[in-house]
Amino acid sequence: MDAEFMREWTALRSEHTHDRDPFNNYGCFNVEACRNCNYVYNSRACISCHNSDSIIECVQCVDCRDCAYCVGLNGARFHILNKEYSETDYYAKLTALGVDWNVETFDSYEG
């Protein structure tokens, strides 16, 4: 492919994917080391997750928020290893496990 085509493609992809590793993600913002995700936000090391926010190392989760180390959940909140916790207990458990649930924000992707 010619260089101009590739520049345009890279610019278009960058407009719709803002993470530290944009490959195979779409519409993701402030994510790190995620793969094959769509519309995932403030998350880290997720695989094939969709429409989720603040999830950590989850796999194939959809419409989830504030979950960590879960697989195949749909519409879950405050889960660790697919077990539900209260909001207070969720953050206490992550703290006890030594898990940093914050994903550092950044201004732009320098690809």
pLDDT for position 18: 55
Q: For the chain, which residues score pLDDT lower than 50?
A: 108-111
pLDDT for position 111 = 44
The three state secondary structure string of the chain is CCHHHHHHHHHHHHHHCECCCCCCCECCEEEECCECCEEEEEEECCECCEEEEEEECCECCECCEEEECCECCECCEEEECCEECCHHHHHHHHHHHCCCCCCCCCCCCCC
Q: In the prediction, which pLDDT does 22 show?
A: 56
Rounded to whole angstroms, the Cα distance separating 73 from 6 reads: 37
d(C-alpha 90, C-alpha 109), whole Å: 31
Chain mean pLDDT for the chain? 84
pLDDT of residue 91: 95
Q: What local confidence, expressed as pLDDT, does residue 108 receive?
A: 46
d(CA 50, CA 5): 29
